[in-house]
Amino acid sequence: MVDRSPPPRPDKIPLSSASLALRLAGIGAVVAALAGAFAYVNGTFDPQRLTPKALVDVLEKNNGVHPGFRRNHAKGVCVIGYFESSNEARPYSTAQVFSAARTPVVGRFALPSGNPYAPDNSVPIRSLALRFKQANGQQWRTGMNSMPVFPVGTPEAFYQLQQAQTPDPATGKPNPASVPAFFAAHPETAPFLQWVKTAKPSASYATETYNGINAFYLVNAAGQRQAVRWSVVPVAQDAAGASAPEGADFLEKDLLQRLLKSGPLRWQLSITLAAPVDPTNDASKAWLGERKVLNAGTLVLESTQAQNAGECRDINYDPLVLPSGIEGSDDPLLAARSAAYASSYLRRTHEVEQLPTAKQESPQ
């Protein structure tokens, strides 16, 4: 097997400022890692404007190129466990994951950054990707983040945000006016900006709630479709809200210590049923008011693995890999991700093949 361990760390990586202004100036890099690059399954949004290549290129320009590493969520850790169904979602979906007693899970915690050496307290968002492997061979893959909404509702707006964050070749830094100007021109970003004003880097992956953000449909045996959004909510709240400590690499260490000391970590899979007025095509809008929430079961994570050699290493956590009984919605961001994930995967695979020592992380 090829040695894919990460290359040596830089001697020093400066920490980001705690000020809101600098947070907003760097939000493009954060957002890039949250949703990945976007492109429709056929490979383009508009042949005249936006392609998977253009999106991956702008991510590389903003984050730097780290051969063999994921272009987004470059720093992470594999987790292994299973899902125990409560059967509460069974009337809404024929997906086996909601009726089987136990479904194996391979997941990955990560930071939303294209920099594999980013300090853990550099951004206020954590992510969790999961692959459920059903006994019938079908899979459910999902990527979730610890923010309540996405900043924008369209791939075009996402790309414009990345362009606003692109460094000026003359200075090596983004134009400080570009990102604020983008937000001023996009009022749909207000809910996200309101959240990020008070968001702080957490001290643990284990105490975060991870939100799917995009809408999907559950489909039952009668063919009835119910629009939903889902989240996984931690059972343990012992350190919820704790400020992140100093240092670059505390999250993975905390996760391992918790597993060794207390055993498996648990989250409740909560599925929110949409009301008729709830938008399914705009991840920048929250579903406000009381909604029925299903306790679909319990996610149990038992162990960690190094990301460069663990089971999560070669999994592309494409959210459109869905089993029968779950369908994608009309959200353009959701529908857009598959082709660019594939494009990025092929790019990283080629890099690993070309490296003589191949001492890198394998592709997403």
Residues labelled catalytic: 73
Q: Taking the mean position of all CA atoms in its chain, how far away is CA 169?
A: 29
Residue 341, annotated as binding a ligand: yes
Between the alpha carbon of residue 246 and those of residues 26, 219, 241, the distances in Å are 20, 46, 16
Distance CA(170)–CA(249), nearest Å, equals 33
Beta strands at 103-110 and 127-133: parallel, antiparallel or unpaired: antiparallel
Reference 71, options 347, 357, 359, 311; nearest CA is 347
Output the DSSP codes for 60-97: HHHH---TTS-SSS-SEEEEEEEEEE-STTGGG---GG
User: What DSSP letter does each residue of 135-154 carry, written as one string?
Assistant: TTS-EEEEEEESSSS-S-SS
Q: What angle do CA 307, 85, 232 make, to 5 degrees?
A: 50
**Could you give the count of Cα atoms lying within 13 Å of 347 in the half-sphere of its Cβ?**
21
Residue 174 and residue 25 in contact, taking contact as beta carbons nearer than 8 Å: yes
Say how far apart CA 150 and CA 321 lie, in whole Å: 21
- If one counts every other C-beta atom within 10 angstroms of the C-beta of residue 3, the result is 10
DSSP class of 98: G
User: At 110, which helix (H) or strand (E)?
Assistant: strand 103-110
> Tokens for 183?
């937000």
Beta bridge partners of 108: 78, 129
Contact 322, 110 (CB under 8 A): no
Backbone dihedral region of 137: left (phi > 0), alpha (psi from -120 to 50 degrees) or beta?
Answer: left
Token couple for 154? 């369209």
* Binding site per annotation, positions for heme: 341
* Binding site per annotation, positions: 341
